[in-house]
Amino acid sequence: MSDDQTKMYCPECQWHGLWHERLTGKHPFYADLDIYGCPKCKAIETLRHGCVVAGCREGAVEHTTWSDPSGAISRYCWIHAPWGPAI
């Protein structure tokens, strides 16, 4: 999945969208870094990855990815994770 199609969400305002829709700017203190923001509420550095399952609006489980046999990496929520729902 290309970065342009990566699902994102903002836990501050519940915005859901794609990676290329986020706000991007230069970090005010570190010229070689970028900062990212929510296009709806303008919160900075709050965006999280969303679950890759079509129609799902849950956030992906933090710090976990799943690599399929082709090597593609996907991010899933706790409901759709390949290892089963969390209890």
* Per-residue pLDDT tens over the stretch 47-77: 988 888 888 888 888 656 666 666 666 787 8
User: Is residue 85 in a domain?
Assistant: no
User: Is residue 82 in a domain?
Assistant: no
What range defines the domain where residue 13 resides?
3-74
Is pTM beyond 0.95? Reply is no
Question: How many residues make up the chain in this entry?
Answer: 87
User: What is the rounded distance in angstroms from the CA atom of residue 33 to the CA atom of residue 24?
Assistant: 10
User: Is residue 86 in a domain?
Assistant: no
User: What is the rounded distance in angstroms from the CA atom of residue 24 to the CA atom of residue 86?
Assistant: 34
User: Is residue 69 in a domain?
Assistant: yes
User: Is residue 81 in a domain?
Assistant: no
Which residues, including other chains, have CB under 8 Å from residue 4's CB and lie 6 or more apart?
18, 19, 20
